[in-house]
Chains A and B, each alone.
Chain A
């Protein structure tokens, strides 16, 4: 066995690379923990696979009353008991973010709908979401079938697929997703939070569709739009599926 030049040496125990992590955005609209736990567990039951050990960002921007104080020591166990992995917070008041930091959470860059993630808002400047500014208008083109178990991600732009997407396959894009064939797997557009992004497909039989974290699973798709050419977009935080 010869030693590979790239093997870590004693002084070289890590590598740093810009990475991308797909995080669910959990936007809190209230702080009654019992109600929150009940409602969340209901939601998770509807798509347990989707949520299993899912890393989540707690979005604090929906908490109206600035005088609220957030007890992260009580909130985090509630989320973890439901199988979620809280990774950080975004949005909301400075005081809340400081409290989150004291509980070991990261403070991520805020985003607004319809815009690219911008530079970190806080003084810490360590935001992941803003680490690399995605190039604009770069579409990724896939001309072969996307098979079960495969995952394709188009960072910073649109994803265009010219062949069928199998059950168990997953498409993700920071921008729009266009499928000129059957969609039987999952499609998640606007995964960095672009709420203006859309999904277009010629034959909707998806297991799951999502835009900016708002998702819908197969069971909840209306029969009337199944197997048809459709577009999917968000209107007032609701997924709309429309005939093309």
Chain B
């Protein structure tokens, strides 16, 4: 099932938006303009773009720590202000959480972004409640949680899949298997290197997909989301992919593995080849898309840099709803 060319080009642009966002962010991080820690989603753009394409603002997704891209995409697509994700990462008052969340805690329910949790995958439990509420209200929404392969090691993985299964909750598990959890190879950290093997016992559809082929990822997400909206209960998708970012200390993976994923399996390059083969679009047309997106990201970075810092007095606000008096 081939995608129509307009959709494919849109996804190409989305993937570039994610990559340009991360490249720009990395540059600013190295300059010391972005505080804290930085985990980027470069290499995993097809997975994120496919999810973003099918999740509506009325659905929800719990993004993982490599999800600046999907956060920005959702923010831009549904609200037209992707720059507020950038501003959040810069710790500015104009950010989606006014600088209280940062890279690992950005949320905006109006675009379906229910917030990352830097205790990896804690929202495997939270997603159940959103799904339960929608099930009780008979709303055909999808509650998605995005989890890394390493995160599957948590006990909540079992609790969540089990409860979603017994209650037939509308949960989409999007497992981004990029081969490693920091330095731990997936096959060493789990009883199976294929996470679908671990999920199968819970009786939901478990599908493994090439996370670097945008057409395949897009089609599988569509199937999963349709199934969930139809009331068939939870669905588990495992995206096989690879992250370009090594360790904070540098690259630790074999040179040939790095070359293979960056050159042969780059999701953007693969999409570009596909578009070239299926349409009359020229390399120059695609280069122009890339340049436009890079330019857009630079304006976001400027917006973030020129935004005010939060008022320090806000640091103790909103600890309690209704203040200390608990009104």
A and B bind: no
What residues make up the interface of B, taking CB atoms closer than 8 Å to A?
none
Q: Name A residues whose Cβ lies closer than 8 Å to a Cβ of B.
A: none
